[in-house]
Amino acid sequence: MLYDVAVIGAGAFGAWTAHHLRQAGQQVVLLDAYGAAHSRSSSGGESRIIRMGYGADETYTRSAMRSLTLWQEFCRKTGQPLWHQTGVLWTAAEGDPYTENTRLTLARCGAHFEVLSPAELKSRYPQMHFAPGAWGTFEPESGALMARRAVAAVVADAVRHGIAFLREAAAAPHGAGSLSAVHTSKGGTSGIIRAGTFVFACGPWLPKVFPDLLAKRIEPSRQEAFFFGTPPGDPRFAPPAMPVWIDFSDPRGPYGFPDLENRGVKIAFDQHGPRIDPDTADRIASADSLAAARDFLGQRLPALRHAPLVEARVCQYENTSSGDFLIDRHPDFANVWLVGGGSGHGFKHGPAVGEYVAARILRGGPVNPRYSLAAKAETQSRAVF
């Protein structure tokens, strides 16, 4: 069969790209080597933040706002509780430039937020301890997405509406011009996928599929997250008593989730870990990372200082030089698109990214220069987070 579009990679970007293309009437095949929402993927974790704040960066604020609308519509349509409106709380020292710019951008874009004084933080969240003098910015309409389940739901819904889904690995294309087919791990004539357009939305596998082009432009880094158990019958650490939170007063960028769906309180740091191979890396959290998470947990939530670890996750970011997404045509193939570079903040944007990619494929138009391959340097200088 000749498909209109073949999408390789069924993470948040690939799944939503396939979803939007099918809505537009395209014949689509979606491939993933390990299956939708698998444990190696960047989209396969338990939970991800959806927030509107991005400092002065209106591009990503508007993208997040559009994505939230689409996530909510998807949840209503499918009847699946895939997101939790916990609110998102940012804390930082008074006058912090990033926070001040965030508030200005949220106001300009029409996103709702509240400014909380140190006294208001203490009164509203007595179970949480904040850095001295910290002020809060609260996004009441933001919250958390149940990442693994959400991706699986988007793929399942796409299949119900006619997308072909294959659990097969696609080989890297060779040559130049117009790509006519990709070969898969199935082998033989049945392992040949023909399409008019190909979208490689492979997340941390993009540098492996296109090593000459992307090995130095996208760097997968190891990231660890920890879930700690809460006391029996204690509602202080679950919504609505506790929101998702992000702390800009600490250079490690700690962030956390309330006890969602009884999985425990989640703690992680927004720092780039060492480089990781998404195929072969062991997914066992390190003792040093656990110690750092437990120490911060005791500071932020003193009542959980001795809480048991109930789960640990090791996933990865796929960092571009700036933190901007990569959404561009392959320089050697007129009908091949590269979509990735989620860079640790991309999951929430899946619906808007998929919509954007589908529009470029179907209607053309220039690529946002920030998303272009040309804008991706070979040295890390992250500006988007």
pLDDT, tens digit, 9 for 90 and up, residues 7-19: 999 999 999 999 9
> Last residue of a domain, which of 314, 339, 360?
314
pLDDT of residue 188 exceeding 80: no
| Structure-token pair, residue 262 | 């009884």
pLDDT of residue 384 exceeding 90: no
> β-pairing, 164-166 with 309-319?
unpaired
Asked if the structure places residue 70 within a domain, the reply is no
Asked if the structure places residue 56 within a domain, the reply is no
- Do 258 and 302 reside in the same domain of the chain? yes
Asked if the structure places residue 51 within a domain, the reply is no
**Average pLDDT of the chain to the nearest whole number:** 95
- Do 228 and 255 reside in the same domain of the chain? yes
pLDDT at 264: 98
Averaged over 173-197, what is the pLDDT?
A: 90
- Do 309 and 261 reside in the same domain of the chain? yes
Local confidence band at 202 (pLDDT 50, 70, 90 cut-offs) = very high
- Do 292 and 384 reside in the same domain of the chain? no
Asked if the structure places residue 61 within a domain, the reply is no
- Do 294 and 242 reside in the same domain of the chain? yes
- Do 300 and 251 reside in the same domain of the chain? yes
pLDDT of residue 236 exceeding 90: yes
- Do 134 and 248 reside in the same domain of the chain? yes
Say which CATH number the domain at 309 has.
Answer: 3.30.9.10
pLDDT of residue 205 exceeding 70: yes
DSSP secondary structure letter of residue 161: T
- Do 329 and 350 reside in the same domain of the chain? yes
- Do 167 and 26 reside in the same domain of the chain? yes
Cα 376 from Cα 320, distance rounded (Å)? 6
pLDDT at 144: 98
Q: Domain of 305? A: 84-143+222-314
Asked if the structure places residue 383 within a domain, the reply is yes
Q: Which pTM value belongs to this model?
A: 0.96
Q: For the chain, what is the domain count? A: 2
Say which CATH number the domain at 36 has.
Answer: 3.50.50.60
Q: Which residue, chain included where needed, has tokens 């069924």?
A: 10
Angle in degrees, 0-180, between the axes of helices 147-160 and 58-78, rounded to the nearest 10: 60
